[in-house]
Amino acid sequence: MAEIDLPSVKELLWHKMRGDLTTLVPWFASNDLLLCPTCGRALKYDEFSVEHIIPQQAVADDPAAVRVAISKNMRSGLTLLCKRTLVFSNKSIPGHGCNSWKGKYYDKYIREALQPDVLSRRFHSRHHMAVMAAGYLGLFREYGYQIALLPSGLLMRSQFFRPNSFVPEMPMEFQMLLTGGPPESYTEDDREYWSEPFKVGVEAGAAYVVMRHFSLRLPLSRDPTVPLARALPYAPPRYRLRLNLAAILD
Ligand SMILES: [Zn+2]
């Protein structure tokens, strides 16, 4: 299946993400910046690149029938991540920002985790962290910047930069990962398994993210399905609706 050309995908993502961000933080309407969903820096268009959340190398391993039926971008799930050099404690990290960070620390492990024989392989903490990082980006892709800006988002973003172990603040209940095996062949009944890489559910204090055959719970400080109050929660007395009885009394 033909791929959509990447530059236009980037533009679409940029406008969608900026639209979402501006509704939450109106300050962004007066500039041309976007927050990186992982490092949180406010950066320009040229400092972002398209990120395949499930890496391209991983979806290249999908069965041939799947590759014919469903586009690569759809099977990956896309977002924008920054490509500006990361700096930790005044030290520059070689590479292209969060995009390179994910590529270096997680993409190989996401690919391995998605192999059909995952249950017979050695599965270690880096695989777990990689699936969590992808799960966070899947959750961000679904609900946008409110995920990144919540206290739980800050926790997940700290976790993103700790690829070998859990951050100490991560509650135990979110340190578990469930998995089964992927479908062995492609049928129309399985289409959603491949075409929608992240299925997200929400309950009090947690998000359930299913990434293909993995299921994980992620911390969530606020239910993103409940609309945010974007206007004053009360009406000033002068504007309050009052019964006008003048016509009746006349
Ligand atoms: Zn970044």
Residue 195 lies in a domain: yes
Per-residue pLDDT of the chain (250 residues; tens, 9 = 90+): 455 566 699 999 999 999 999 999 999 999 999 999 999 999 999 999 999 999 999 999 999 999 999 999 999 999 999 999 999 989 999 999 999 999 999 999 999 999 888 778 788 899 999 999 999 999 999 999 999 999 999 999 999 999 999 999 999 999 988 988 788 778 888 888 999 999 999 998 999 999 999 999 999 999 999 887 766 666 666 656 665 566 555 4
CA of 185 to the centre of ligand 1 (A): 37
pLDDT value of position 104: 96
| Percentage of the residues of the chain whose pLDDT score is greater than 90 | 71
Q: How many domains does the chain have?
A: 1
Residue 81 lies in a domain: yes
pLDDT value of position 247: 57
Q: Is 208 helix (H, G, I), strand (E, B) or coil?
A: strand
Exposure of 113 in the CB half-sphere (CA atoms within 13 A): 28
pTM, to two decimals: 0.87
pLDDT value of position 183: 82
Alpha helices in the chain (DSSP H): 6-24, 56-59, 64-69, 72-76, 97-102, 108-113, 125-143, 145-149, 151-160, 191-195, 246-249
pLDDT value of position 187: 85
Count, residues in the chain: 250
Residue 69 lies in a domain: yes
CA of 41 to the centre of ligand 1 (A): 6
Q: Which structural domain range is residue 182 located in? A: 6-249
Task: Please give the Cα distance from 76 to 21 (Å, whole number).
Answer: 23
CA of 103 to the centre of ligand 1 (A): 12
CA of 250 to the centre of ligand 1 (A): 68
Structure token digits, residue 130? 């990689």
Residue 166 lies in a domain: yes
Residue 1 lies in a domain: no
CA of 42 to the centre of ligand 1 (A): 9
CA of 100 to the centre of ligand 1 (A): 9
CA of 47 to the centre of ligand 1 (A): 9
Residue 97 lies in a domain: yes
CA of 137 to the centre of ligand 1 (A): 12
Residue 190 lies in a domain: yes
Structure token digits, residue 86? 């990361």
CA of 112 to the centre of ligand 1 (A): 24
CA of 43 to the centre of ligand 1 (A): 9
